[in-house]
Amino acid sequence: MGKRIVVTGVGIISPIGNTASESWENAVAGRSGVRRMTIVDPEEFSSQIAGEVKDFDPLDYFDRKLAKRTDRYTQFSMIASREAYGDSGLEGNISPERLGVIIGSGIGGITTLEKEHKVALERGVRRISPFFCPMMISNIAAGRVGIDIGAKGLNFATVTACASSGHAIAIATDMIRLGRADAILAGGSEAPMTLTGVGGFCALKALSTRNDDPETASRPFDRDRDGFVIAEGGAVVMLEKLEYALKRGAHIYAEVIGSGMTCDAFHITAPSDGAEGSARAMKLAMEDAGIEPEQVDYINAHGTSTVLNDINETIAIKTALGEEKARRSMVSSTKSVTGHMLGAAGAVEAIFTSLALEKGIVPPTATLMNPDEGCDLDYVPGRAREAELTYALSNSLGFGGHNVTIALKKYTGK
């Protein structure tokens, strides 16, 4: 269990960029990717805004046959995985049997599900596509990535709503520590912009209705927040043993030093009283990493822009770090510009946290103007901040009471 695990490749396709570097640049600049919805007609919805991937044509990445036989969420996972794999330089430097894939998704192929359900109703069940099941299921992104990359090691999906890709990274770290693989592509993808995808969250009254001001609609920790902004995309990291990375002179973004995973066991959508579950995940991550609360410089918060999450996550951070230390640590939510990418959110935010450690820049909570009562930490409002960072946490919380925290460290060559 003493193996050191590092991030050597990153891949993102998101509302703020179709590559990791473009997404990071816009996150740091505080440029929002939220616009009026275009993938589905927004007129029927109370929330008519979304974080959509821009200028996306599957044929720019796949041949026509493969594009037709893969759901949008699977395409995002493959694009992000290709970028992370290429970035890592591992191709030709690892046995395929020792390369794994863990790709999470909260929903899976809902676009395909809706399309084929419509076919069944309008044209009869005999007209359902034979590709329906293998396009729709939530594990197929991991399977497709394995085929695409040629990774023959462990391969599965994590499905824990908005904690899905956080869990993928946490479990991948443990799998490498245990010797189950030498390297793993880990992350998540989501493409929820459909009638039932958007309509369901509208019915929950979970989404922002600030339709006249989409770019500032996602307002984590702000007194005027009114719900999260639904978003799509994919994000994947390459995790591997430090010794492998050093042997070939790979670029190392950060070191993954621990994780904490808990369940609220309380309510399907609301956090537990006093945010006990998420606080405990942070404590477990620090314990696994062998660090003390005093050492945590930065937390990339789940920070959804919902009334319940933001105040409760603030309470959880104070509980985990101690109130005095919590006030001295920087906390930010990059969902202020990406919107909430659901099953892909944890991986996007772990990448942003890794880059923050490497570059000494904390991305801002770009839209925070008036902190709510009780939301009284340093949320890095408005603008990015240069800072010397050594240790950071990245939080992901999901419906069902799922909590996961990833602990990361700046890689210094020691």
DSSP letter at 18 equals: S
DSSP-derived pairing of the beta strands 296-300 and 391-398: parallel
Among 202, 340, 375, 402, which one carries the catalytic annotation?
Answer: 340
Q: In this structure, are residues 352 and 28 in contact, taking their beta carbons and an 8 Å threshold?
A: no
Planar angle of CA 277, 203, 128, nearest 5 degrees: 105
Pull the structure tokens for residue 414.
Answer: 């020691």
Active site residue 302: yes
Distance CA 31, CA 350 (A): 19
Identify the H or E element spanning 190. Answer: strand 183-190
Indicate if 117 belongs to the active site: no
Rounded distance between C-alpha atoms, residue 99 and residue 9, angstroms: 14
Spatial distance between the Cα atoms of 164 and 399, rounded to a whole number of angstroms: 10
Locate 300 and state its tokens. Answer: 């990339």
CA dihedral 362, 365, 371, 374 (to 10 degrees): -70
Annotated catalytic residue, options 133, 251, 263, 302: 302
User: Contacts from 286-289 at CB under 8 Å and sequence distance 24+?
Assistant: 286/258, 286/260, 286/320, 286/393, 286/407, 287/258, 287/260, 288/257, 288/258, 288/259, 288/260, 288/407, 289/257, 289/258, 289/391, 289/407, 289/409
Q: Out of 162, 167, 375, 402, pick the active-site residue.
A: 162
Say how far apart CA 117 and CA 188 lie, in whole Å.
25
Phi, psi angles (nearest 5°) of residue 204: -75, -10
Say how far apart CA 385 and CA 329 lie, in whole Å.
Answer: 13
Give catalytic status of residue 402 as yes or no: no
Question: Cα–Cα distance between 280 and 85 in angstroms, integer?
Answer: 33
Residues catalogued as catalytic: 162, 302, 340
